[in-house]
Amino acid sequence: MSSEEQHHHHFIQWHLNKLINGSSSTFHSYNQSLFLLLWFFAILIFVPSLFLCFHLCCRRFSQQQRSTSTTVVSPLPDQCVVGIEFMANHTLVPSSTSMVGAGFEKEECCICLSLFQSNEKLKVLIECEHVFHSECLDMWLSGHPSCPLCRASLHVSENLKK
């Protein structure tokens, strides 16, 4: 082998080694970057999923606690509550002074927030003279023994206490 051929052979060998070693370090760097990127996305998905599971478990536990500690309120019988006057098919005239005295200052039911209409069934609480739709007041009184507007306590007859 001549010296020129040897030199050429060493030159090729040197470039092959550099190419192989260089691509090896590039390949290693690429693998490391890919590994870190995969870990980043795994954590990015895992952490919010963990918080979501925790939130759902806490919400379910809280709902179970509420359902076991909730007391059922039965509606009060009509004959037991004293101080409610029934007004069936009452014609409302908003400008009438008698209506203002009977609790019609606002012309709306404070429970459902809709305006009183002519020929509606209304109920008046005698003690405070507040007026409500009959159905709205019945629903309210099934869980509360007071006026929905001023919280005045309704008198309960002796039939309920027995």
Per-residue pLDDT tens digits of the chain, which is 162 residues long: 667 777 767 777 766 666 566 555 556 677 888 888 999 999 999 999 999 999 888 888 777 766 554 444 444 454 444 445 555 444 333 333 334 444 455 678 888 888 888 788 888 887 788 888 888 888 888 888 888 888 888 765 444 444
What the block records as the tokens of 138 is: 């019945």
The C-alpha R_g of the chain, in whole angstroms, comes to 41
- Burial (CB count <10 Å: 0-12, 13-18, 19+), residue 134: middle
Among the listed residues 38, 120, 126, the one whose alpha carbon sits nearest the alpha carbon of residue 82: 126
- Read off the DSSP letter of residue 87: E
**Residue 62: per-residue pLDDT:** 75
Strands 131-133, 120-125: pairing kind: antiparallel
Contact 128, 102 (CB under 8 A): no
**What pTM, to 2 d.p., does this model score?**
0.37
**Residue 92: per-residue pLDDT:** 37
The Cα 132–Cα 111 span in angstroms is: 7
Q: How many CA atoms lie within 13 A of 68 on its CB side?
A: 6
Question: Tokens 């002074």 identify what position?
Answer: 97
Within 10 angstroms of residue 82's Cβ, the number of other Cβ atoms is: 14
Sketch the domain layout of the chain as residue ranges: 1-70, 81-161
**Residue 95: per-residue pLDDT:** 32
Please state the φ and ψ torsions of residue 124, each to the nearest 5 degrees: -115, 130
Per CATH, is 81-161 categorized as 3.30.40.10?
A: yes
